[in-house]
Amino acid sequence: MAAAEPWTIKRILDWTSGYLGRKGDEHPRLSAEWLLANVCGLSRVELYVNFDKPLEADELAAMHAAIERRAAGEPLQYVTGEMPFRHIVLRCEEGVLIPRPETEVLVDAALEGVDAAVGRRSAGEKDPDAALAPVRVLEVGTGTGCIALSIASERPGTHVTATDLSPRAVALATRNREALGLEERVELVECDLASGVSPELMGTFSVLVSNPPYIPTAVLANEVPAEVRDHEPALALDGGPDGLDMFRRLLELAPAALEPGGTLAVELFEGALDQAAELARAQGGWSLVEVREDLTHRPRVLVAVREG
């Protein structure tokens, strides 16, 4: 009797790709690679140089469970429990918004605000102690902590205060912060907007950054893929009738939170950015209001700079 064909890395990659494709996965090969790399503890590149390696029984069992979760429509990041974002890797879990690649553009805008603050201090600060004080960033709605932790890791002289209304999000962001060793540079506060932030810090932030819930309610109900709508938290998605409910609150907060010359950077629904820019200009007090595109050239981020 011939021995059963072993489930090698190549064989299970090929089988999984076909199975997930038939289940409606838009990127079945990529999903298969992510799942198998996670199960085997290998990088995606390492999978391809170990094609003939058979899987152990426990690896096969874990892969089978992961495949069925993905086939049922669960987001890949929840199945694997992690995802890369810019230069860091984050834990992800059900109940907390999954970071998206387009949010990297928002981080770029925030980092520009940090660099501008450093430049202002270097050019005009006569007090050496004040010049050495950390640039402060306020993030509202931190989720996994992807924005706050990216800023702190890429600009070591920066101190970030990050808030979230969800206890689950704050707990996950705390674990991500500890895994990256950024406890000294990122403060996490469970609160609505900035209600739990020390009043002494208001007016000292060089950047106010947020990826708030911004999908218009009707769009969320009728156009957003079920994978997102059914698994990710509505609290982090639903932006109200026009997608700007939270943006209006951020716009009210910004003058009190930001120092003169400070930057507001907010990710928004592509169809709402023109209206958001009009709201900012109507508010006044901004020397610059502009809309920036994401990696797919869609309007994505509003950037505004305070006068002064």
What separation in angstroms does the CA of 52 have from each of 13, 15, 80, 220?
Answer: 11, 14, 23, 44
* CB atoms near residue 261 (< 10 Å): 16
pLDDT (tens digit per residue) in 171-190: 999 999 999 999 999 999 99
Query: Counting Cβ atoms within 10 Å, is residue 187 exposed (0-12), middle (13-18) or buried (19+)?
Result: middle
**Which CATH superfamily hosts domain 103-306?**
Vaccinia Virus protein VP39 (3.40.50.150)
Show me where the domains of the chain are located: 9-72, 103-306
Backbone angles phi and psi of 188, in degrees to 5: -110, 130
Residue 134 pLDDT class (50, 70, 90 cuts): confident
Task: Indicate the pLDDT class of residue 125, thresholds 50, 70 and 90.
Answer: low
Mean pLDDT of 74-102: 91
What distances in angstroms separate CA 25 from CA 16, 70, 282, 292, one per listed residue?
Answer: 11, 8, 44, 30
Task: Say if residues 3 and 11 touch (Cβ distance below 8 Å).
Answer: no
> CA torsion sign, 295 to 110 to 114 to 175?
negative
Best mean pLDDT range from 42-51, 71-80, 198-207: 198-207
Digit-coded pLDDT (tens) for 109-124:
999 999 999 998 887 6
- Cα distance between the two ends of the chain: 83
